[in-house]
Chain A
Amino acid sequence: MTRAWVALLASGLVASAGPAAIAQTFGSPTHFTEQGGAAIYASVCAACHMPDGQGAEGAGRYPALSRDPRLQIPAYPIFMILHGQGAMPPFARTLTDQQIADVVAYIQTHFGNAEKDQATSAAVKAARASD
């Protein structure tokens, strides 16, 4: 965990401490313009999975992303983000390969997940092509 945090800080994925800034860029009505896993997570995924990744439960539920073993293999979150299923909407048209790779890597290394398998935009591209 500590090593993962160090790696993240070194890679610049974690913003420096300070008052929480709004990550939302509101850049386009047709696609997301946020860059980097943290900003994409905070502006898209957090709508349902919540800013802390804990999910929520009402009549149905949004699963928590913390310590989710299904996130060990990037192909699973990549597929879900591209195509959606049930209450999970598809984002194939609104996020780029790089954005999806970045946000998968972010989820894999946050919320109590400490996976080594980092998603790549090439993997996302391949997942798109295999449809």
Chain B
Amino acid sequence: MTQAETTPLRRRDLLSLIGAAAGSSALYFAMSRLGHAQGSDYAGPINLSGDPKGASVLILGAGVAGMVAALELRRAGYRVQVLEYNDRVGGRTWTIRGGDRFTELGGATQDCGFDRGLYFNPGPWRIPYHHRALLDYCKRLGVTLEPFTQVNANAYLHGKDAFGGQPQRYRTIQADFNGMVSELLAKAVNTDRLNALVSKEDTEVLLEALQDWGALDDSYAYKAGEDASERRGWRKPPGGGLSAEPIDSTPLRPQDLLQSHLWRRLSSGLDYDYQTTLFQPVGGMDKIAEGFAREVGDLVRLNARVTAIRQDEHGVQVTWEDKGSQTMQQSRADWCLCTIPLSVLSQIEMNVGAPMAAAVAAVPYSPSVKIGLQFKRRFWETDEAIYGGISYTDLPITMIGYPATGYFDSGKGVLLGTYAFGPYAYEFESLSPAERIAKAVAFGAQIHPQYPAEFDNGMAVAWHRVPSQLGCYGQWTDATRAEHYRNLCAIDGRILLAGEHASYIPAWQEGAILSSLDAITRLHERVMKS
């Protein structure tokens, strides 16, 4: 063996290899995984200093990107007006409650029958702790947050063909997977191939680590016993008095565990976006929209459908339809910040240069379906001891999200019964709302047999059929980003764009906010120079 082959692989070498093999984006990705890189680049409240001397900005869209801009630009001395298509502010930051009515494209209308205090967030529903800009606005706007549970050890991992379709507790799959891998690696420690990768003095430490991480016994075996039961749970848990003695549970056979593919979702809580702690606003995600509305709601004109955006050397003129009176109106300003989703904007007449026009047309919008289901009782808590968190399945519903609030309530409960992307989402979207809900109940019953008896009512939101959005979020690829992203974000004359689609954090509110802050910072610099 050569010297190079016998030297244990160091982290920097690994990064170099990844970078050489897969390019810089993969290197950045790997660095993020290894803790070198940071996520959100929010550096605290922005300071737009200097007098804009009465310059005016017309903001299109009252989602979080538009509302952030409205708040900060007015504070900086701009004259601001906002046009919004919906009859509410918030955009995709949206919560549905009992009594709400929603009519999707195609005309199907749903009236929400949830009980008082119960809700469902059809758009964003969780906030990672490192989405610092959004968390800062929550604090400044007085939006109260509570923990959102992503990983629940007692929730399920389910495969329709795994273990006869019987859902398995996340805890047991995680314990058995870690135990299996640790045992295999411990057995391999003294083989030549591993000796080439791990130095002799590190071997003992590695064995100690594997024993600890994998719950191995003193012979480095993962098997039924106290060590394993402490991780995966007991067949009969320890108690008190005469019946106190616990009975150990038996780990799954390694080949069954591997072939079940349930390990696929063990990584769900490991990704940066889903690591503890996550938050949700108390009472629904639209509390964020309400917070912004308290600050800048007076600037927003609702029910305004933009039909044309025209700029000249003096300013921007926007033509819009007042949906109430069905009359055409015009608004004018020195500048226009447009946060309209590209799925919609690509259809609106706008005289910008070819690069921005091409960028606007280049980003398709993802399908996505979320279905909120109300049940007559919180059986997942009372029957199954699942308090918040997510069960994952390979069924088309993809997951069941349990409410991270209202625990132990004796009334009804609302859970997220479907959160689908990709082909499954198109298949749900192309059904009627009632059919989507019926499918969600039928699929979910394979995981929770209580479903058919306890189901009360539901609300199904298919994002391609949401009239203001025409899709869930902008789906960039490496190729389209390379060709169009900078052109999308650059100021074109007197027009500039913002929103999650103009960020590297697509689909997240944080991306929308950081995009907006970046855009208005550049706009302000331009105004100060002119």
Contact = CB atoms under 8 A, between A and B. Distances in A.
Interface of A: 22, 24-26, 28-32, 42-48, 50-51, 56-62, 84-90, 94
B396 A56 contact: no
Chain B, interface SS category? loop
A58 B340 CA distance: 13
A26 B395 CA distance: 8
A59 B468 contact: yes
A90 B105 contact: no
A49 to B, nearest CB: 9
Contact of B467 (A22, A24, A58): A58
Contact of B347 (A32, A56, A61): A61
A61 B468 CA distance: 10
A88 B470 CA distance: 10
B340 A59 contact: yes
B429 to A, nearest CB: 4
Nearest to B61: A59
Interface in B357-395: 360-361, 364-367, 394
A44 B467 contact: no
A46 B343 CA distance: 17
Nearest to A89: B364
B424 A86 contact: no
B344 A85 contact: no
B430 A42 contact: yes
Nearest to B369: A47
Contact of B105 (A25, A58, A85): A58
B427 A26 contact: yes
A75 B480 CA distance: 23
15 contacts: A22-B431, A26-B427, A29-B396, A29-B398, A42-B430, A45-B430, A47-B465, A48-B105, A48-B465, A59-B467, A59-B470, A60-B346, A84-B364, A86-B360, A89-B365
Nearest to B394: A29
B430 A51 contact: yes
A81 to B, nearest CB: 12
A94 B367 CA distance: 13
A110 B366 CA distance: 27
A94 B105 CA distance: 24
What are the nearest 8 A-B pairs in CB distance? Answer: A58-B467, A86-B346, A47-B429, A56-B105, A60-B344, A89-B364, A46-B430, A24-B427
